[in-house]
Amino acid sequence: MANDTLTDAALSALRTVIDPEIGYNIVDLGLVYDVAAENGTVRVCMTTTRPGCPATDMLKEGAEAALAQVEGIGAVNVEMTWMPPWSPDLMSDAAKAALGF
């Protein structure tokens, strides 16, 4: 599978991961900062709404599990970061509308 196609498939899979505190998917919430695919390996850089978020491990594990289901992905590396800090400005327009921002 081409790297761009694999990246798109990874993003689709990540949209199935729901932040349990907000009830919306992590991609449209703006929690996923970067997704890169190369030779079957997908690297994800993501955050949470705040450092110390109690759902951090759950979101990271959810992302890893969702990506493991994608055909063509052989390895996954999910990195958590809090720089830059998340803000509602990072949400998609659809997420902002659904959540009243």
3-state class of 44 per DSSP? strand
CATH architecture of 3-86: 2-Layer Sandwich (3.30)
Other CB atoms within 10 Å distance of the CB of residue 32: 23
Q: What is the pLDDT averaged over residues 26-34?
A: 98
Check the CA dihedral 53-86-60-18 and report its sign.
positive
Whether the pLDDT of residue 1 is over 90: the answer is no
Q: How high is the mean pLDDT of the chain?
A: 95
Model-wide pTM > 0.85: yes
Per-residue pLDDT at 21: 92
